[in-house]
Structure 1
């Protein structure tokens, strides 16, 4: 399975939350912007490493759900989400 990284650039996020409907790991953060919570998915037992700073949220996953993350990124009207494969 590919290992991939999902980045949300907070300065580009407008809190529109189109990503939330494409991938349940995306949730509204305390700051009113999108963030990632692997345990928020009610269907899959998902694990991931999440770093949340003032500038960005970075999550690393090694599951088979990269397409869902890419759909969330494509739905973002401000292009605040980047999904990159970072290894296998």
Structure 2
């Protein structure tokens, strides 16, 4: 399975939340912007590493849900989400 990273650029996020309907790992953060919570998905048990440095949220996964993440990124009208395959 590919290893991939999802990055949310907080400056670009407007809290429109189109991503939430494409991938349940995307959730609303207390600041009103999107974030990623691997435990938020009610169907799949996800393992992911998530960091938030105040400017961006970065999550790394190695599961078969890369296309869901890409759909969430494509739905973002402000292009705040970047999904990239990464080497281990």
Q: With the length of structure 1 as denominator, give the TM-score of the two structures.
A: 0.98
Gaps in structure 1 of 5+ consecutive residues? none
Query: How does 1:33-72 map onto structure 2 within 5 Å?
Result: 33-72=33-72
Q: With the length of structure 2 as denominator, give the TM-score of the two structures.
A: 0.98
Deviation at 1:87?
2.3
Gaps in structure 2 of 5+ consecutive residues? none
Q: Does 1:75 align with 2:68?
A: no
User: What's the Cα RMSD here?
Assistant: 0.7
Deviation at 1:53?
1.5
Q: How many residues align?
A: 88
> C-alpha separation between the residues in 2 aligned to 1:34 and 1:20?
8
Equivalent residue for 1:84?
Answer: 84
Equivalent residue for 2:31?
Answer: 31
Classify the secondary structure of the residue corresponding to 1:64.
coil
Structure 1 runs of 4+ aligned residues shifted over 6 Å read none
Classify the secondary structure of the residue corresponding to 1:30.
coil
